[in-house]
Structure 1
Amino acid sequence: MTQPTMSHPPPTVSLPVHLVAGLQDALLMAMTDLQRLEGLLDHATANLLDRFGSANRTLGQYEGEHAGELAPVRQALHQAVTELQFHDMATQLIVHTGKVLQSCAWRLAEEAMEPEEDEQPMELDPMPERPSPVTQSEMDAGSVELF
């Protein structure tokens, strides 16, 4: 004879509002720091690409008589530019982590704090489904195509 299954409510944890608010603030500060890091990476990468382009143009001035000697230098520049795709992978990770932090902060606030009388319910962005948008863990693993 089977026993009827009773539905039990999920366990809950009660936290003081000031603790939840502090945690939410910390999550949002971490998100802001990640956005600043993304800006710094963008700036550094733009500068590097600009300098590589300048070096490549300079090499072009010596192409005729020293073409054989410059081939390894051009190859090294090409590889360096390809390795700059680290910026793209890092930016994807930063954006993904920012979305996770923001989602956690808003969900925490929604669950822990009572809405004001005239407050509209927030429409939360869904938590990212994939754990990470980048599967490559190092620049030497796999292949990277220059776009």
Structure 2
Amino acid sequence: MESSMTTPDSPSVQMPVMLVAEVQDSLLVVVHDLSRLDGLLAHTMEKLMERFTFASANLAHPSLMESQELEQVRSALRSAVTELQFQDMASQLISHTSKILQGCAYRLASESMGSEDGEAVPFVEEVPERPNPVTQDEMDAGSVELF
């Protein structure tokens, strides 16, 4: 069975329905994998923050003598905590990419196969217009960029 993806006044492409279904399935698998990756990143960042907080609290104990080396370790820990903010940016990118892929998968199915009477069409948000929701590519201590 052949299907065509068309919009008014545009060329059409003939594609086998099975190919369209395989591409759609692959896109949805990638969306699922990105969601799992986002969860892994969030869990890892949570654990790292716990460990950095514990180390920082122990280094701040009054019984420790002040030294230049100890201050350098404290400074390195503060910098590491700041750098962990990349998880937030990574999560935004993963979410953005997932929406685009999911939108493509549902549009591909809708355009090529149509919908049957009584069949619910999955709701998908509009594909985001901005190509990249995260524009920051480096972080410095003390700097904040709101998205």
Secondary structure of the residue aligned to 2:59 is helix
Aligned residue for 1:35?
35
Measured after TM superposition, the shift of residue 75 of structure 1 is 0.9
Alignment CA distance shift 1:143-1:75 (3 Å): closer
Q: Deviations over 1:3-42 (max 9, x none)?
A: xxxxx82111111110000000000000001001001100
Distance 1:146 1:69 in 2: 31
Whether contact under 8 Å (1:82, 1:146) holds in the other structure is no
Distance 2:86 2:63 in 1: 29
| Larger RCO, structures 1/2 (Cα 8 Å, 6+ apart) | 1
Whether contact under 8 Å (1:82, 1:144) holds in the other structure is no
Measured after TM superposition, the shift of residue 121 of structure 1 is 4.1
Aligned residue for 1:84?
84
Aligned residue for 1:128?
128
TM-score normalised by structure 2 residue count: 0.84
Measured after TM superposition, the shift of residue 67 of structure 1 is 5.5
Whether contact under 8 Å (1:96, 1:133) holds in the other structure is yes
| Runs of 4+ in structure 1 over 6 Å off | none
Unaligned stretches of 5+ residues in structure 1: 1-7
Unaligned stretches of 5+ residues in structure 2: 1-7
Q: Computing the radius of gyration over CA atoms, which structure comes out larger, 1 or 2?
A: 1
Distance 1:27 1:144 in 2: 36
Whether contact under 8 Å (2:82, 2:141) holds in the other structure is no
The answer on 1:66 being equivalent to 2:66 is yes
Aligned residue for 2:116?
116
Aligned residue for 1:145?
144
Distance 1:61 1:17 in 2: 67
Give the total of aligned pairs: 139
**Which structure features the higher share of helix residues?**
1
Measured after TM superposition, the shift of residue 69 of structure 1 is 4.2
Distance 1:125 1:34 in 2: 17
Measured after TM superposition, the shift of residue 58 of structure 1 is 0.5
Alignment CA distance shift 1:121-1:38 (3 Å): closer
Distance 1:66 1:37 in 2: 41
Measured after TM superposition, the shift of residue 65 of structure 1 is 2.8
